[in-house]
Amino acid sequence: MKNKLKRYFWLVDTLKERPMSLDELSRKWERSILNDGRNPLSRRTFQEHRNTINDLEIGVLINYDYANNCYELVSDDDNGTLIARWMWNAMALQSAINQSVSIKDRIVTDEIPSAQFHLETLLQAIKENCIIELSYQPFGKNEFAVKLLPYFLQLTKQRWYIYGINPNGEIIKAYALDRIKSVKLQGETFIFPEDFSPKEYLEENGIGQYENIPIMDIVVRAYGIQVDRLRTLPLHSSQEETKTEDGKSEFTYRLRPNSKFYGDILSMGKYAKVLSPYYVRKQLKETIDKVLTYYK
């Protein structure tokens, strides 16, 4: 199975380049470093690999283009396959590194310690819509137990979070996996609301509860290289470049400002300035003033 996984990774990565015929794929496979015996890729083997990849639900499909007599990689654009794609990418990265033993020390990746904590159990709970009980201990506070209807998982800033609501509540809360002491499946199930979108929720709220903060338009002026950074890696999905000048640009966001947003702005240092609204400027100024007291 291990060797087959390597071939699956190779096939997907190869078709990412462009559509190819089976003959082209076979020639490339004969030259691949994964092919120790330099064996051709038979039609039977290829079809088996293709069927397996299409059944994995990783967000991509290998389709046949009859008009051009070639195979192509097609994205299904299904947000429900996000976790599967993340796992696939993680395995593909590990496979690629393992094939490059001589340069392993020259490949540096971020560790995600929280992935070691209860991830498999929580994935099962989400898949089966199973109510769970967490034993949770926030930083600097006492441990407590809470029942949770697990809605979705998020990986951000090298940390996993589980989002859900209490069976008797309506407010969605986030819990960091590395602060969870234990997870128990309760054997009870719940109905996940069909109209709930984790992506839309995160766009409005981020990590934490900010229902008392209204959604607002925020204008940020970026300077120098930060302009290009925001163009290539937007701060938020609502980002629009609303004004462009020499050496600076203004970006407008529509969101509910939270601690993550403020942290992202502050991390830009002197290369970003919030122009409006006053509420956000005031919050940032108070934070900066507090930080300055540490260096007096």
Of the candidates 113, 61, 117, the residue with the CA atom closest to the CA atom of residue 84 = 61
Residues 183 and 122 sit within 8 Å (Cβ to Cβ)? yes
Of the candidates 149, 145, 102, 157, the residue with the CA atom closest to the CA atom of residue 130 = 149
Residue 84: predicted pLDDT: 56
User: The domain 2-95 is classified under which CATH number: 3.30.230, 1.10.260, 1.10.10, 2.60.40?
Assistant: 1.10.10
Residue 101: predicted pLDDT: 58
- pTM, two decimals, is 0.58
Domain 216-293 listed as CATH 3.30.70: yes
Q: Is 128 helix (H, G, I), strand (E, B) or coil?
A: helix
Tokens for 238, please give them: 């609502």
Residue 272: predicted pLDDT: 96
Domain 113-205 listed as CATH 2.30.30: yes
Residue 200: predicted pLDDT: 82
Residue 86: predicted pLDDT: 59
Tokens for 103, please give them: 């340069």
DSSP string over 160-179 = EEEEEE-TT----EEEEGGG
Q: Is 257 helix (H, G, I), strand (E, B) or coil?
A: coil
Q: In angstroms, what is the C-alpha Rg of the chain?
A: 24
Q: Output the tens digit of pLDDT for each of the chain's 296 residues.
A: 456 777 887 888 788 878 999 999 998 888 887 777 778 889 999 999 999 888 876 777 899 999 999 999 887 654 445 555 655 666 666 666 665 656 666 666 666 666 666 887 888 898 889 999 999 998 888 999 999 999 998 887 778 889 999 988 778 889 989 899 999 999 899 999 989 888 888 877 665 555 578 889 999 999 999 999 999 989 888 999 999 999 999 999 998 888 888 989 999 999 999 999 999 999 999 999 999 999 98
- Is residue 150 exposed (0-12), middle (13-18) or buried (19+ Cβ within 10 Å)? buried
Tokens for 128, please give them: 């089966």
Cβ atoms within 10 Å, residue 164: 25
Residue 1: predicted pLDDT: 47
Residue 168: predicted pLDDT: 84
Domain boundaries, given as residue ranges, for the chain: 2-95, 113-205, 216-293
Q: Is 246 helix (H, G, I), strand (E, B) or coil?
A: coil
Distance of alpha carbon 184 from alpha carbon 134, whole angstroms = 7
Strand extents, DSSP E, 14-96:
60-65, 70-75
Residue 148: predicted pLDDT: 94
C-alpha distances in Å from residue 53, one per residue of 57, 60, 96, 178, 202: 8, 8, 18, 32, 30
Tokens for 269, please give them: 């240092």
